[in-house]
Amino acid sequence: MGRSTRLLALLQALRRRHQPVTAATLAREMEVSERTIYRDLSELAAQGASIKGEAGVGYVLRSGFFLPPLMLTQDETEAVLLGLRYVNQRGDDVLNKAAENARAKIGSVLSEDMQAVAIAPMTIPGPDGKPFPENKVSLTLLRSAIRMQKRLLIEYVDQAGQHSRRVVWPIQIGFMDTARVLSAWCELRDDFRFFRTDRILIAELLERYPIRRDDLVRTFQDRMQERMSGDPSVTADGKDRRV
């Protein structure tokens, strides 16, 4: 492995980790000596990579340092473009525009071989599904609530036509085959719930909710794992059986 390739691989190894990793571990992974790892880390830091750490403790790459798209392998390019094509099919206007911009940026730096992959992909998403039902509350408002970690006062109508007003702590928007779904902690039910976005009639931003969104998402994922393994009332397809 050439040095430039090794430096890029070392950056990738650091990006995969959120906790400090020792030079010894990196040396085993890269199949080089620890001395080489120390030298490479110094070189990366000199080139602008924000690497924090010290010998014997471990190293971590701080957020904000991004690798250029031209580093993508053929398989990685295929995976990214497949994802962007799926977004074009099922995303809303905001995500569709973002996907087009991302594809243009990636395409502008791909090699000729990679350009061929982009023009004639080996994998494509399935056919478009039915159009999503129209939303009365924009996804932009829901995204803002998620990003700002704001509570939402919503009026919601369930599958049976029953109306309710409730306060929720929004954490994610899911794009299913037939609907878009807001995942949130529901104060009324004192639990996580799925809300189809087309059934949210009104939404009003309130104050910030008291728990970090990252912590809520982890709890939500753990809870869904438990329920999916033994509770048929919780589904991941956008059906709100208990809201």
Low-confidence ranges of the chain (pLDDT < 70): 1, 63-72, 126, 129, 230-243
**8 token code pair:** 């890029």
Q: Is the dihedral of CA 144, 146, 148, 153 positive or negative?
A: positive
> CA dihedral defined by 179, 185, 190, 193, rounded to 10 degrees?
10
pTM for the model: 0.61
- Distance CA(240)–CA(193), nearest Å, equals 8
Q: What is the pLDDT of residue 168?
A: 97
Give the type of residue at 240. D
- Distance CA(97)–CA(175), nearest Å, equals 16
Strand bridging mode 150-157 / 200-208? antiparallel
Q: What is the pLDDT of residue 230?
A: 65
pLDDT digits (tens, 9 = 90+) for 172-231: 998 887 889 999 999 999 999 999 999 999 999 999 999 999 999 999 999 888 877 765
* Run of H or E residues at 174: strand 163-175
Q: Are 85 and 95 contacting, i.e. CB atoms less than 8 angstroms apart?
A: no
